[in-house]
């Protein structure tokens, strides 16, 4: 389950310094498409296990990080690898599409 909650305070340590790629779900409580994507993100977290760290960042309470990475629309799922943005996926998408994008990053 994507139970890691990223914040402005822990983002550097948890995401940018991670030894493995990190999928960050930028979301907000009031966002209907975010609620659609949330269970998919949880499933991805379970499926990828140790190969991919997965967590969520609430843009309402952590606006500094969202602004830094140019998150204008949510949900936005951003994959970080070695502290760099590798892939950005905006909007509700199918699980298969998310998996394709994640697999392409893990294979590189």
Which residues does the annotation mark as catalytic?
31, 34
How far is residue 55's CA from residue 70's CA, in Å, rounded to a whole number? Answer: 18
Q: β-strand 84-90 against 76-81: which pairing, if any?
A: antiparallel
Say if CB 21 and CB 53 are below 8 A apart. yes
The alpha helices in the chain, defined as continuous H runs, are: 11, 32-48, 63-68, 95-107
Kindly tell me the burial class for residue 71, based on how many C-beta atoms sit within 10 Å of its own C-beta (0-12, 13-18, 19 or more).
Answer: buried
Say if CB 61 and CB 7 are below 8 A apart. yes
């Amino acid at each position: 389950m994507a139970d890691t909650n990223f914040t402005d305070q822990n983002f550097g340590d948890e995401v940018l310094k991670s030894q493995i790629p990190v999928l960050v779900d930028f979301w907000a409580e009031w966002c209907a498409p975010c609620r659609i994507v949330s269970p998919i993100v949880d499933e991805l977290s379970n499926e990828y296990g140790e190969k991919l760290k997965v967590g969520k960042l609430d843009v309402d309470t952590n606006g500094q990080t969202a602004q830094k990475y140019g998150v204008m629309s949510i949900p936005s799922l951003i994959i970080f690898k070695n502290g760099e943005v590798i892939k950005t996926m905006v909007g509700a998408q199918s699980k298969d599409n998310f998996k394709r994008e994640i697999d392409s990053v893990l294979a590189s």
